[in-house]
Amino acid sequence: MNQNLLNDVLYLVGFCLFVVLQSLAINGIHYALQGGCINDFNKGKVCKGNMLYMIWPTFFERNRSKWWSSAAYSCIKCMSSCWGAITFWPVVVYLFGFHWVQVGVFLFDVPILCSLNFYIYKRL
């Protein structure tokens, strides 16, 4: 009985650390994709932004208002679903293999990520 309880506590602690790492990664991706363009009277259209934004600023500006961009790069809360799945499933399946219990864990992972992403985003 004590061994099962210890395993559950260790799994919970590991899950909490994993969620924090996921949230930091998603916030890093969001920060790397931030940027914007302004129209300057003298220079014309001037785009400034972070590392990944400056690779292709016209793409990001053109698609910023589309529905799929919120999950991909423009909304920190919405990024929890897309990037949460991208960071959750490969790691969990690699470490533990696939079990149906992990679907339930993922259903807890996304709402926790949503609130934690927004909390960390507001603090940075």
pLDDT tens figures, 41-78: 777 777 788 888 888 888 988 888 888 888 898 889 99
**Whole-structure pTM value:** 0.85
CA atoms 104, 108, 110, 113: torsion sign: negative
CA distances from 48 to 28, 29, 44, 73, 119 (A): 17, 17, 13, 16, 25
pLDDT bracket for residue 119 (50, 70, 90):
very high
Name the region of 75 (left: φ>0; alpha: ψ -120 to 50; beta: rest): beta
Which residues contact residue 86 at a Cβ distance below 8 angstroms, ignoring those fewer than 6 apart? none
Determine the pLDDT at residue 107.
93
The range of the structural domain enclosing residue 94 comes to: 2-123
- Number of structural domains (the chain) is 1
- How far is the C-alpha of 61 from the C-alpha of 65, rounded, in Å? 8
